């Protein structure tokens, strides 16, 4: 169940219309309003239904393989030279990332609503794979919208989706990445609203998506909390997670929001460096605005056009961020920082060589920042990194950066 008792103090949100402070909301065209209102009404009912959550928990245990371990990375800890570094192993989930926690939940919603067709947007392809997976399992038709550039970058995941029976639709408009895939999925939804359920992959989009995706990802933080008390005898001193749209980060952070002793760091994609402008870090350098159904921090130019973003990791290459993160930034509860492409690449290799774990390039951003942070902390302190996905999908990208072809 969503941790409602946590919400009662300090960080309650969203309100009934989906606002987190000044952020969030429902900024969609009238053609979609009925669909999001229906979803909000169904979710409000379902979120109070123990049977729904029992089915969700059952699927997470027997299909996804939860709980995922909390693993002490001893050699990484030694290398960083400070606080103990633990990894929350979301990379060990079925399909290889945290994304499946959400698609399992939303597929159950789709089933309840009697929808026969699923659509999704994807950047790195992890959410697309996780959506295609649950669609295959439930026998639903599945269309995944993916930017043409991302299709190039993430060929293995494209093929996985096809193997799972999904149709991958190449999006050629705009910057041909995640944001454009989301535009196209919204257009599809407006056109096929009766039959179709739109599984948004992150804590963005119109209400109720930021809330329901968060609730489905909170399993990460709840397990981490329990595992910390069991394995460390206390809560960790810091949590670190990468932030693109921000679903893995909010999933880890949310159950700890009222634990004031726990510091939190959301790591955005610094690309070539914040100062170069070639990055994907709206919380580090953006301004509030409205995109894809919600008000949040965005990378926009002076005229309000959404800017093209850059990151080595397709999953972080998005000009916006979930509205709850925008709010947590303003409330100063979470520190939002950035790691560059180069730092992420270095961390990718370090974790691979030191621990035998190949991380997703997205997660490598969190590893990079956590190692810097650990060095500033005492050995008796501890950090939990959300290792949100595994890096098999990225080996071609990495090889290319090193001048190799596979």
Positions marked active-site: 99, 121, 388
β 23-27/293-298 pair status: antiparallel
**Per-residue x/- marks for other proteins, 305-344, CB under 8 A?**
xx--------------------------------------
Q: What are phi and psi of 129, to 5 degrees?
A: -65, -45
The sheet with strand 84-89 has its strands ordered as 70-72, 84-89, 382-387, 238-242, 263-271, 335-340
User: Should residue 390 be labelled a site residue for other proteins when binding is judged by CB under 8 A?
Assistant: no
Site for other proteins in 34-73 (CB under 8 A): 34-35, 37
Residue pair 281/343 in contact by the 8 Å Cβ criterion: no
How many residues bind other proteins (CB under 8 A)? The answer is 40
Q: Is the peptide bond before 89 cis (omega within 30 degrees of 0)?
A: no
Instruction: Report the nearest approach of other proteins to the CB of residue 291 (Å).
Output: 6
Rounded distance between C-alpha atoms, residue 151 and residue 148, angstroms: 5
Of 182 and 371, nearer to other proteins (C-beta) is 182
Rounded distance between C-alpha atoms, residue 95 and residue 131, angstroms: 10
Is the four-CA dihedral 197, 198, 201, 206 of positive or negative sign?
A: negative
Which residues pair with residue 166 across a beta bridge? none
Q: What are phi and psi of 124, to 5 degrees?
A: -70, -15
Rounded distance between C-alpha atoms, residue 398 and residue 347, angstroms: 12
Of 35 and 87, nearer to other proteins (C-beta) is 35
Out of 298, 321, 371, 398, the only residue in the binding site for other proteins (CB under 8 A) is 298
Of 167 and 195, nearer to other proteins (C-beta) is 195
Any idea what DSSP says for residue 66?
Answer: P
Of 32 and 83, nearer to other proteins (C-beta) is 32
Instruction: Report the nearest approach of other proteins to the CB of residue 248 (Å).
Output: 24
Of 210 and 251, nearer to other proteins (C-beta) is 210
For residue 17, give every residue at least 6 positions away whose Cβ sits within 8 Å of its Cβ, in sequence order, or none: 25, 26, 207
Q: Which stretch binds other proteins (CB under 8 A): 185-193, 220-228, 248-256, 331-339?
A: 185-193
Instruction: Report the nearest approach of other proteins to the CB of residue 132 (Å).
Output: 23
Which residues pair with residue 338 across a beta bridge? 268
Any idea what DSSP says for residue 63?
Answer: I
Instruction: Report the nearest approach of other proteins to the CB of residue 292 (Å).
Output: 7
Out of 288, 330, 342, 401, the only residue in the binding site for other proteins (CB under 8 A) is 288
User: Should residue 190 be labelled a site residue for other proteins when binding is judged by CB under 8 A?
Assistant: yes
Of 27 and 53, nearer to other proteins (C-beta) is 27
Instruction: Report the nearest approach of other proteins to the CB of residue 164 (Å).
Output: 26
Of 98 and 115, nearer to other proteins (C-beta) is 115
For residue 89, give every residue at least 6 positions away whose Cβ sits within 8 Å of its Cβ, in sequence order, or none: 68, 69, 70, 71, 387
User: Should residue 292 be labelled a site residue for other proteins when binding is judged by CB under 8 A?
Assistant: yes
Any idea what DSSP says for residue 238?
Answer: E
Is the four-CA dihedral 117, 122, 125, 127 of positive or negative sign?
A: negative
Site for other proteins in 339-358 (CB under 8 A): none
Site for other proteins in 146-175 (CB under 8 A): 173-174
Instruction: Report the nearest approach of other proteins to the CB of residue 305 (Å).
Output: 4
Task: Record the tokens describing residue 286, joined without a space.
Answer: 């953006």
Classify 70 as helix, strand or coil.
strand
Instruction: Report the nearest approach of other proteins to the CB of residue 92 (Å).
Output: 35
Out of 46, 186, 358, 373, the only residue in the binding site for other proteins (CB under 8 A) is 186
Site for other proteins in 5-34 (CB under 8 A): 17, 25-31, 33-34
Of 28 and 80, nearer to other proteins (C-beta) is 28
Q: Which stretch binds other proteins (CB under 8 A): 6-14, 51-59, 286-294, 339-347?
A: 286-294
Q: Which stretch binds other proteins (CB under 8 A): 136-144, 259-267, 287-295, 387-395?
A: 287-295
Short-list 383, 360, 387, CA closest to 372: 383
Rounded distance between C-alpha atoms, residue 123 and residue 121, angstroms: 7
**DSSP state letters, 98-145:** THHHHHHHHHHHHHHTT--EEEEEESSSHHHHHHHHHHHHHT-EEEEE
Positions that interact with other proteins (CB under 8 A): 17, 25-31, 33-35, 37, 173-174, 179-180, 182-183, 186-187, 190-194, 287-293, 295, 298, 300, 302-306
């Amino acid at each position: 169940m969503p941790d409602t008792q946590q919400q009662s103090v300090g960080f309650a949100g969203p309100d009934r219309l989906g606002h987190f402070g000044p952020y969030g909301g429902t900024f969609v065209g009238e053609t979609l309003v009925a669909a999001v209102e229906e979803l909000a009404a169904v979710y409000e009912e379902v979120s109070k239904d123990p049977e729904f959550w029992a089915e969700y928990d059952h699927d997470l245990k027997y299909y996804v393989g939860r709980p995922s371990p909390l693993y002490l990375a001893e050699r990484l800890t030694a290398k960083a030279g400070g606080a103990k570094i633990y990894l929350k192993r979301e990379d060990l989930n079925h399909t290889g990332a945290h994304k499946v926690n959400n698609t399992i939940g939303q597929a159950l919603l789709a089933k309840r609503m009697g929808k026969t067709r699923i659509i999704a947007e994807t950047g790195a392809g992890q959410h697309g794979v996780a959506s295609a997976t649950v669609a295959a399992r439930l026998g639903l038709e599945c269309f995944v919208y993916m930017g043409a550039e991302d299709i190039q970058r993430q060929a293995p995941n494209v093929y996985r989706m096809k193997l799972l029976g999904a149709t991958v639709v190449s999006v050629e408009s705009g910057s041909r990445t995640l944001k454009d895939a989301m535009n196209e999925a919204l257009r599809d939804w407006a056109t096929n609203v009766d039959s179709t359920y739109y599984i948004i992959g992150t804590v963005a989009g119109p209400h109720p998506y930021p809330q329901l995706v968060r609730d489905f990802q909170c399993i990460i933080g709840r397990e981490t909390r329990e595992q910390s008390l069991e394995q460390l005898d206390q809560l960790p001193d810091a949590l670190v997670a990468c932030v693109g749209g921000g679903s893995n980060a909010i999933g880890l952070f949310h159950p700890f929001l009222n634990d004031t002793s726990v510091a939190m760091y959301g790591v955005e994609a610094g690309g070539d460096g914040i100062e170069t402008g070639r990055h994907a870090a709206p919380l580090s350098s953006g301004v509030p605005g409205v995109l894809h159904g919600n008000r949040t921090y965005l990378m926009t130019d002076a005229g309000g056009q959404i800017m093209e973003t850059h990151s080595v990791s397709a999953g972080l290459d998005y000009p916006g961020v979930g509205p709850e993160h925008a709010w947590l930034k303003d409330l100063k509860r979470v520190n939002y920082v950035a790691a560059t492409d180069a730092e992420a690449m270095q961390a990718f290799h370090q974790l691979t060589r030191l621990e035998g774990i190949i991380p997703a390039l997205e997660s490598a951003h969190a590893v990079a920042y956590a190692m810097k942070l650990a060095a500033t902390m005492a050995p008796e302190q501890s950090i939990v990194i959300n290792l949100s996905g595994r890096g098999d999908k990225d080996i071609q990208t990495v090889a290319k950066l090193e001048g190799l072809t596979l």
